Amino acid sequence: MAVFTPVSRESLAHWLERYDLGELREFEGIASGIENSNFFVTTSSGRFVLTLFERLGYDELPFYLGLMHHLAARGIPCPDPVADRQGASLGWLEGKPAALVTRLAGQAVMRPGPAHCAQVGALLARMHRAALGYAGNLPNPRGIDWKTGAAPEVLPFLDRDQSLLLTDELARQRAFAASAVRAALPASAVHADLFRDNVLFETAPDGSPQLGGVIDFYFAGVDSWMFDFAVAANDWCIDDATGDFDAARLQALALAYARARPLLAAERTAWPMMLRAAALRFWLSRLHDLHLPRPAELVTPKDPAHFERILRARRLGVPPLP
């Protein structure tokens, strides 16, 4: 999340007149993230999140909003798009496609333990099962075709070792993407960005962590469940300094997922390459955002070296799934 397009209080209040949400009380920009312009909005009837979409086209957005509504209707704790009086959940504000969704309670936990990871694993399995009935068929927008196009754009900014790493890894992943193992993996619409800052936790009365919900579905697309699982594992279960896995957290994530949805043999076979695919996806996107940035009023850039370390670690080997 970020703010690329400023919104005035006057224009927001006018835009909200199409909803039955009462009067505008407070709003503020959200600085975290790098894709869209986001704002916390409070009205006399509740708390919401407003998003102005900076890259996604108006015709693409029904996939994302529809997926959130589909999952919310099936008990997944995620934002639910708010419809206006005409039944529309998508409109225009400051010349950009815009949507309002419900705001979830809780805070991101940046230093998770096994208890957090177990809840994330269980929720991810529930999300995959719930998404099976969703009719949207948008491919993962940051899949192998995007990687193939993005790599030449960032290569001029890399040193020799980084260039060799990127070129070799992309070639290996292109081969894997065309393999029979990859084709055998179960898939549906997936979140594809289930990082720590996209999951909210509350504190239960006994002091234990309690998952409040998952947010930011705007990188979602149809992909394998194992890719979605690998994205989460590469963030929730690692030593941030080295990129290596923390065994207890990885075990908690994997066992909780498998209890809710047992893994297939093909998924276990694909596990190492899915981890590498997930690492390359975020190394590339962070390189692109660092070296080819867009202007923004508020933005929080992320360090691409983090996912370079993770990719190098995964190429050396990965632990088997428990």
What residue ranges define each of the domains in the chain, with the CATH number in brackets? 9-102 (3.30.200.20), 114-316 (3.90.1200.10)
pLDDT in tens, the chain (322 residues): 467 899 999 999 999 999 999 999 999 998 765 689 999 999 999 999 999 999 899 999 999 999 999 999 999 999 999 999 999 999 999 999 999 999 999 999 999 999 999 999 999 999 999 999 999 999 999 999 999 999 999 999 999 999 999 999 999 999 999 999 999 999 999 999 999 999 999 999 999 999 999 999 999 999 999 999 999 999 999 999 999 999 999 999 999 999 999 999 999 999 999 999 999 999 999 999 999 887 654 455 689 999 999 999 999 999 999 8
- Report pLDDT for 4: 86
Considering only the C-alpha atoms of the chain, give the largest distance between any 2 of them, rounded to a whole number of Å.
58
Q: Which two tokens stand for residue 174?
A: 């292109």
Does residue 66 contact residue 136 with C-beta atoms inside 8 Å?
Answer: yes
22: left (phi over 0), alpha (psi -120 to 50) or beta: left
- Report pLDDT for 298: 47
Please give the model's pTM, rounded to 2 decimal places: 0.94
